[in-house]
Amino acid sequence: MRKVMLICMLAMMASVASAAYVETFDNGSADWLYGYGTNYAQGTTTWNSTGGNLDGCISGASENLYAVWTYETAVYGDITGLTVTIDTKIADSASGNAQFYVGRDGTYYIGQSWDISQDTEWTTHSAVLNLANFTRWTQGGAGNESLAYVLAAPDDLGIFFGGHLATGSGDLYVDNYGFVPEPATLALLGLGGLLLRRNKKA
C-alpha cells in the first residue's frame, strides 16, 4: 500500500514537472530577439552553430543592450512551480545587471539581478518562480495580474538589463534558457526513487 501511494505521489510530481523545457539553441535561434539603444531598436539574435555551452547558442551585440527575449512561448507552456534557468557569457568588455522577467498580457514580473561582467566564462543563473524572488515590474507594462496568472501561460519571456550595458564591442551569448523543476522537487523525486529501490530490495 505504501508503495502504491509512493508511486501515485511520484506520478503527481512528474505531471507537475512535465512542463519543464529548456531551449538549447542547437537547431536555430528559436525566434529570440534583442533590443538595444535608447530608442529601443530591435534585432534578431545571431545564431551560432558552435561555441555554446554545448553546441549552438545565440548572441547579440552588447552595446546598449536592454533585453534578450522571445514571444514564442508556447513551447514552454505552463511554468507554474518551476525554476527559470539560463547560461550567459560575455565577450570582451561589457557590464550591466541582468534580470529574468516573465510577462503575460502586459503584466511583468522581474527577478533579482546579477552582474553580467562576471560571466567571462559560461555561467548558469537560475531562480525559483515565486513571489520571494520575483516582484511586479511596473516599468515593463501597465498590467496588474498576479504572478500565478502570468506563469500559467506566459507570452513574453527573457532577460532585461536594469541599466543599459556599457558601450563596448562585446557580444552577449545565451544558451540553455528554460524551465526546470525546482531543486526541492528534484530532491523529493530522488528520495522517492531511493525509497522505491529500498522497497524492492526488501
- Mark 170-189 with x for binding to Ca ion (rule: CB under 5 A) and - for no binding: -----x--------------
Task: Give residue for cell 552577449.
Answer: 172
CB-nearer residue toward Ca ion: 27 or 138? 27
- The yes or no reply on residue 113 touching Ca ion (CB under 5 A) is no
Distance (Å, whole) CA 117 – CA 91: 9
- The yes or no reply on residue 55 touching Ca ion (CB under 5 A) is yes
What are the residues whose beta carbons fall under 8 Å from the beta carbon of 180, sequence distance 6 or more?
A: 20, 22, 82, 83, 85, 126
Residue showing the smallest CB distance to Ca ion in the complex: 52
- The yes or no reply on residue 23 touching Ca ion (CB under 5 A) is no
List Cβ<8 Å contacts ≥24 apart for 70-75. Answer: 70/30, 70/31, 70/32, 70/33, 70/156, 70/157, 70/158, 71/31, 71/33, 71/155, 71/156, 72/30, 72/31, 73/153, 73/154, 73/155, 73/156, 73/157, 75/21, 75/23, 75/30
- The yes or no reply on residue 87 touching Ca ion (CB under 5 A) is no
- The yes or no reply on residue 56 touching Ca ion (CB under 5 A) is yes
- The yes or no reply on residue 52 touching Ca ion (CB under 5 A) is yes
Q: How far is the CB of 122 from Ca ion (least distance, A)?
A: 10
- The yes or no reply on residue 85 touching Ca ion (CB under 5 A) is no
CB-nearer residue toward Ca ion: 160 or 177? 177
Q: How far is the CB of 57 from Ca ion (least distance, A)?
A: 5
**Residues contributing to the site for Ca ion (CB under 5 A):** 24-26, 52, 54-56, 175
